Structure 1
Amino acid sequence: MARKKLCFMKYITLLILLAFFLIDFTFSQGKSKIEITDLLGRKVEINKPVKRVVAIGPGALRLVSYVDQFNRIVGVENIDKKYIIGRSYNMAFNDIIERLPIIGQGGPDTSPDPEKIISINPDVIFAIQLLDRDGADKLQNRTKIPVVVLSYGTLGTFEEDLFKSIEIIGKILDKEPRAKALISFIKNIQRSFTLRTKYISDKNRPSVYVGALGFKGARGIESTQGFFPLFTPLYIKNVADSIGKKGSIFIEKERLLLWDPDIIFVDLGNLYLVKEDFSKNPDFYKALKAYRKQNIYGILPYNNYNTNIDTALCDMYYIAKVVYPKEFKDIDPVEKANEIYTFFFGDRGRNIYKEIEKAYGGFRKVNLEE
């Protein structure tokens, strides 16, 4: 009798162990770990599948939205709670953003809020600009959540850092085909610009200036950029390149008179400052060839909490159409803008250009006297 009881107990024990094994096996199915190397060179281990995501710092949320829309975003920075015309991902997903909890203040000079991030229990934290290597490690140790640092590269450009960041997001979120499609879309547009403009003779390239570019706030006509990233893929003769400095430059107005470019582009987000200046100094503008020949044009603001890649591409089509009308005679910049916003945001992107146009006037010649 004792032997039978002992055998029965062993049988029950085996059944219990088998049950635990099956439960653990079932739970483990679909689970895996991957190791990625982020843009700081940190090796980060992540449990998959990833179902809950936060993105902190300038433009991190934008890149995640490009790859996965807002399917796994569970919290946003306070800076994104305000609806901003021109910050395209904010425009596309504002209704979702409004409902999500706040995970920190946000902004280029702020620090992450570990407690708020922990409170919503994300599986991964994507970050841009806010953290150096030590800061990323500290946030990861504090929250016990993998921290993956991304990068756009140089502001307003389309460098390998941007493409690597998109690839990393795709790998972590099991969206690799979408990530590849995004990268191909951007690179194919760049190639198409090169094919149309690289071999134009120098005599057929007008001289061009871009002014009123925002830099840590709104700026007037004196604010420009050397080797402007929207010009370089189009082989545009940028008069500011003669200074030999890459990036933001503030010039004396007299220099613009000396350059006297054939065409001037103005950031529509800061057009009001140019108009205010015109009302005070009309003779300066009237002395410019571009003013006299009505060759001043507006481009959409494309830098807002880092670069709106989509809007930058839209601007490039319009710039190309203005500077090289013959080579781009088949291009309708507004149609291209709608196509680009729809590619990046699906149906939610269909009305983005219309809203920006309503706010800033859209692609057009600029009349400083209006």
Structure 2
Amino acid sequence: MRKHLKVAVALAFAACLAVFALAGCSTSNGTSGSSSNSSATTDSATKTVVDAYGRSVEVPANAQTAATVGSGARFVVYAGAQDKLIAVTEMETDPAMNRPYAIVYKDLFANLPATSNGNHLMETNVNEEQLMELNPDVIISSRSAEECDALQEATGIPVIGISYQNQLFTENVYKSITCVAQALGTEDHAAEVVAKLKEWDADLTSRTANIPNDQKPTVYVGAVNYKGAKSFTGTYANYAPLVELNAINVADSTGQDGAVDVDLEQIANWDPDYMFLNAGNMDLMKEDYANNQALFDSLKAFQNGNLYTQPFFNFNGTNIDTGICDTYFIGATIYPDAFADVDLEAKYSEIYTTLLGADFYQTMKENKMGFKSLSFS
């Protein structure tokens, strides 16, 4: 009898231990397990993302929705999270060919509300009440750190800031793609994109790093858009593709950094070997040429037929994809031997497909956009 009683007590004690063990597998907030390494989260769980400005932002651990301010949607696409967008800007809902990401996803963007005018550098108007009504998990903004802080305080919605103006292969670009992906849960996609960016960077710099300066032609980039359309005299010092190619940009002699307005006499004094021009401003350039034909016809680039058009990549923020395509095109034009093995059309398709998820280069060709020689005669 005592033996049977001992067995019964032992079984009862074992059963109690099992109950306690099972109880210990779930926490009071409903997440599985007591370990902080558990992959399951509740709606109230958050994580910290450090944005491009170094701001530590608490975001939902499993964010499902995002809205954008400025040109933030561009980097949501680069991060592969466009399906999580529930609001964009007026510039995305009325897209133009000089913003490839907005053309590729025009059908998606057309069905989303616009909560701001979308300006990247100029004054931005944000409908904060509408944003709060939509209540996205995260806002992605290309505005300044101070503006990101103000918008986050006004709406109570986490704001992730990105920074990338006139940059192609920089830590800012890599961080901007990565922090958007971290906020929206597309880290694997972003890692692949950043890896390709670094691969192209290494390829471009290795092809041109050892070319002696006395074998480098001089280059001028004209009709550069900056806060409006420009003719020949709109140029860019420290122009990202030319920096990447270790090329001689005559505008760097101005000592400026960024968009510069020069005069025709200065261009004549520089007399560059090559000129790369924004065909989108062809009407302005034709007018300038007609009024100053003798000056232009005296330039080496005009005499030797070294005039080329390239899609300009800074339009309401920097189209990283087009900028890299421009870099390969310029490199193959001014250093033909160094780029002899590059299939440029295949490279353009690879770049757009990697960053946008679609081959925008085919759309460019259909719309007679591209990288080609130019004539004013």
Deviations 1:274-301 (CA, angstroms, capped at 9, x unpaired): 1221122221211111111111011112
RMSD (CA atoms): 2.1
Partner of residue 136, structure 1? 148
Quote how far apart the aligned CAs of 1:23 are: 9.6
Deviations 1:160-199 (CA, angstroms, capped at 9, x unpaired): 2221121211212222222222222112111111111010
| Match 1:297 to one of 308, 318, 335 | 308
The one-letter code sitting in structure 2 at the alignment partner of 1:363 is F
The 5 A counterparts of 1:33-112 are: 33-57=46-70, 59-107=71-119, 108-112=122-126
- Paired residue total: 343
Matched, 1:120 2:131: no
Q: Segments of 4+ in structure 1 off by > 4 A?
A: 21-24
| Match 1:170 to one of 166, 181, 189 | 181
Partner of residue 213, structure 1? 224
Matched, 1:182 2:187: no
Tell me the distance in 1 between the aligned counterparts of 2:60 and 2:81.
Answer: 21
Tell me the distance in 2 between the aligned counterparts of 1:325 and 1:250.
Answer: 30
The 5 A counterparts of 1:240-259 are: 240-259=251-270
TM-score after normalising by structure 1: 0.87
Tell me the distance in 2 between the aligned counterparts of 1:137 and 1:246.
Answer: 27
The one-letter code sitting in structure 2 at the alignment partner of 1:61 is A
Quote how far apart the aligned CAs of 1:67 are: 0.8
Percent identity between the two aligned chains: 31
Partner of residue 356, structure 1? 364
Task: Check the 8 A contact 1:104/1:116 in 2, yes or no.
Answer: no
Quote how far apart the aligned CAs of 1:41 are: 3.5
Task: Check the 8 A contact 1:77/1:102 in 2, yes or no.
Answer: yes
Tell me the distance in 1 between the aligned counterparts of 2:155 and 2:149.
Answer: 10
Greater CA deviation, 267-276 or 221-230? 267-276
The one-letter code sitting in structure 2 at the alignment partner of 1:202 is N
The 5 A counterparts of 1:322-341 are: 322-341=333-352
Tell me the distance in 1 between the aligned counterparts of 2:111 and 2:118.
Answer: 17
TM-score after normalising by structure 2: 0.85
Which has the higher Rg, Structure 1 or Structure 2? 2
| Match 1:25 to one of 30, 35, 39 | 30
> Would the alpha carbon gap of residues 197 and 41 (structure 1) be closer, same or farther in structure 2, given more than 3 Å must change?
closer
> Would the alpha carbon gap of residues 40 and 327 (structure 1) be closer, same or farther in structure 2, given more than 3 Å must change?
closer
Partner of residue 319, structure 1? 330
Tell me the distance in 1 between the aligned counterparts of 2:80 and 2:363.
Answer: 23
The 5 A counterparts of 1:150-165 are: 150-152=162-164, 154-165=165-176
Task: Check the 8 A contact 1:69/1:345 in 2, yes or no.
Answer: no
Partner of residue 286, structure 1? 297
Gaps of 5+ in 1: 1-17
Task: Check the 8 A contact 1:67/1:166 in 2, yes or no.
Answer: yes
Gaps of 5+ in 2: 1-22, 33-38
Partner of residue 9, structure 2? none
Task: Check the 8 A contact 2:79/2:178 in 1, yes or no.
Answer: no
Partner of residue 4, structure 1? none
Deviations 1:57-83 (CA, angstroms, capped at 9, x unpaired): 1x2110011112421001111121112
